[in-house]
Each structure stands twice: as structure tokens, then as C-alpha cells.
Amino acid sequence: MSEKMRAFVMHGIGKVGFMEKPVPEPGPTGAIVKTTQALVCTSDTHTVGGAIGERHDLTLGHEAVGVVAKLGREVQGIKEGDRVAVNAITPCYTCMNCLRGYPSQCQESLGGWKFANTKDGVFAPYFHVNNAAANLAPIPEAVSDAMAVYTADMMSTGFIAAEHANIPIGGTVAIFAQGPVGLMATAGARLLGAGLVIAVENVPRRQELARHFGADEVINFETQDAVQAIMDLTHGAGVDAAIEALGSQSTFENCVKVTRPGGTISNVGYHGHGEYVKIPRLAWGVGMSDQSIRTALCPGGKERMQRLLRLLETGRVDPTPLTTHTFAFDDLETAFHMMATKADGMIKPLIGFDASGVV
């Protein structure tokens, strides 16, 4: 392929737009995927805001599905023409951190995150996937692309928040913030057998979706003291687990305050500001409360993607109510700016691709 295509890029901090790029080549172990559907993520807007430093003409986007257009000669277990899902995180599965069982930390802290960080992302008619045999998962026939695209980040990140929370069957969990990741954490907590799911959120549409995805109680932190309300709902005991799905000092603190001794605080929020995240000393039992604090970056890989796709195939969960807006690829810039401010109640904008981006 020596064709050119239009890609949606970060020109530099605060600057986005379309530019022409060559259609990539797979290399021996990679694949080229022809994009069909993608989602804009709040972390794309953090990146353009400068959260991970300067980037020059880097293609944005890390949530997409498509069809295998070209495969490297060494790639086995997948064929050209297959519909495939790809996680936002694409580890190498050969380095020491991957072999230790922490592929999201491939080679270095957060190193599994390559799309729109250390390589071109998915906001283009074609994108390159490294280590394709381990990172591509075929999409079952019964699952649409518009549904499967949620496995890339929202489901994987939301569900790991619930998995790391160690919720005992019938146990109690509080989930702080009901953005798309928090909503999927709510769905994950229900799937894992939580007996009482308490969501903390102030936006009415998100409160409704929290109930839809499995919250038994929704606390509006603007009209109620969230910590007190959670302590009251658990008769003063605190929850077995608290999930931080926002990335702010105050919600992290509240997670520690509402978690019972021996319980788990599971953080998936992106703490984008300040030098430190502080732990409230007394709620932490002055360092001796037996509480655990877990962290995670969106787990990827074919095996996990197949399990997430199975949940869609069997109807255990349907993430598509998160899609509040749809756009053509040509209108991605509008979607991107709306996502930055969550204009018009945006939760996730779905981007549809056709051949128009190939020039």
C-alpha cells in the first residue's frame, strides 16, 4: 500500500486537525486494520491539553474496531478480512514486565499504552497494530462494531476497577463518578455479584444510566454529603470496596473514608493534576487499617478481549446506551471539541468511517 490517507492528529499542545499520511505497512509481526468505528475518549482531550507532554503530528485515538486489511508474515491465528477488536493497550507480551504478568506496564510504567502516545493512534482509515497475534481478537458475528468498540477501553477499564475491588458476593461497593468508565465499573460490580452498588454522581442523565447499569442507590454529592450518605447506607460499617473513576484528590480521599477496615480502594481515575495524591490519615487507620489500594491501566490482549466480547455476545451487558452522539469521520473535530467540554450532555461520541478518508 503506497496510498495516502487523512488522519486526525495532534499538531501540538492545544492544536488538532486533519493531515495527509501514508497508509502504514504491517511489518513482520504487526497488522493493518481498516477502521470501521471509533470512540473519542476524555484521555484524548487530556493528551491534546498537554497531560503527557508535547506531541507533533501524532494521530489521535485509541478506541476502534475494524477489518484486517494486511497482516505481517509472522502473524498467526487471524486472517485478512476478519472483523477485529483491538484494545487501547497493545503490549508486546515478550518483555520482563509483560512476563511478570503486568502487560499494561509493558517495558515501563504505563508502557502498554502505545496508540496516540508512542505511536500513531486509530483516528484514520487504517491503523497499525503491533504484536498483532496477541492483540487482535475476532468479533463474534452477533456483535456489531458499534457495540464491540466499547471493549477497547470503557469495558476493560471499568471492569478491571470492579475486578480489583475484590467485592465479596453480596458485598457493598461505592463507585465515585459515573462517566463512561464509572458506569462500566457499575455494570462490572453487578456482574461480579455485589449486593449493594452505590453510585456517586450529580448529572441527571448519568444518574439514570447508573441505575440502568446496576446501581441500587445514587448519591448526588451536590445535595448530600457523599461520605455520610454512604456510611448511613451501610449502617456505619463502610463499604467493602470503593472505586475511584474520576481522578481527583477529593474523590480519592472519599474512597478511603468510606471503605471499611480490610476493604479495598480500586483506582482507575486518571490523576492529571498536582504532584501528590494524599491519603486521609485517620480514615487510613494511621497507616494500619488493612485497607488495600489497587491501581490499573486498561488491561488488553486477545484473551481478555475475547472474554469481554463474550459478555456482549451472550447479552450480559450492553454498553451502547453510552453512545450519546454519532459523527462521520470528517466531522471528528466537532466531536473532539464537544468531548473536551462534555457539550450537549455528551458521554461517548461514536465515529463512523467509510472510504472517504483515503485520498
Q: Does 48 bind Zn ion (CB under 5 A)?
A: no
Whichever of 289 and 324 has its CB closer to Zn ion, that residue is 324
Distance (Å, whole) CA 314 – CA 200: 29
Q: Does 98 bind Zn ion (CB under 5 A)?
A: yes
Size of the site for Zn ion (CB under 5 A): 8
Distance (Å, whole) CA 199 – CA 173: 8
Contacts of 51 (CB under 8 A, 6+ apart): 43, 270, 272
Q: Which residue intervals of 50-197 are DSSP H helices? A: 96-99, 132-135, 145-148, 154-164, 180-191
Whichever of 58 and 198 has its CB closer to Zn ion, that residue is 58
For the chain, helix (H) and strand (E) counts, in that order, are 11, 16
| Residue that has been written with the C-alpha cell 466480547 in this structure | 309
- How are beta strands 217-219 and 196-200 bridged, if at all? parallel
CB 39 within 8 Å of CB 152 = yes
* Amino acid letter for position 329: F
CA atoms lying within 13 Å on the CB side of residue 275: 0
Interface stretch with Zn ion, choices 26-34, 90-98, 199-207, 344-352 (CB under 5 A): 90-98
Cell numbers placing 302: 486477545
Q: Does 106 bind Zn ion (CB under 5 A)?
A: yes
CB 241 within 8 Å of CB 263 = yes
Q: Considering only residues 6 through 45, tell me which ones interact with Zn ion, judged by CB under 5 A.
A: 41, 43
CB 299 within 8 Å of CB 112 = no
Whichever of 171 and 319 has its CB closer to Zn ion, that residue is 319
Shortest CB 95 distance to Zn ion, Å: 3
Shortest CB 258 distance to Zn ion, Å: 27
Q: Considering only residues 142 through 181, tell me which ones interact with Zn ion, judged by CB under 5 A.
A: 153
Shortest CB 100 distance to Zn ion, Å: 10
Whichever of 117 and 264 has its CB closer to Zn ion, that residue is 117
Which position's Cβ is nearest Zn ion? Answer: 41
Whichever of 184 and 219 has its CB closer to Zn ion, that residue is 184
Shortest CB 29 distance to Zn ion, Å: 13
Whichever of 94 and 356 has its CB closer to Zn ion, that residue is 94
Shortest CB 119 distance to Zn ion, Å: 14
Contacts of 111 (CB under 8 A, 6+ apart): 91, 97, 105, 118
Among 60, 92, 147, 209, binds Zn ion (CB under 5 A): 92
Q: Mask: binding to Zn ion, 178-217, rule CB under 5 A, as x and -?
A: ----------------------------------------
Whichever of 101 and 287 has its CB closer to Zn ion, that residue is 101
Distance (Å, whole) CA 101 – CA 223: 43
Among 24, 61, 91, 247, binds Zn ion (CB under 5 A): 91
Whichever of 114 and 260 has its CB closer to Zn ion, that residue is 114
Q: Tell me which residues touch Zn ion (CB under 5 A).
A: 41, 43, 91-92, 95, 98, 106, 153
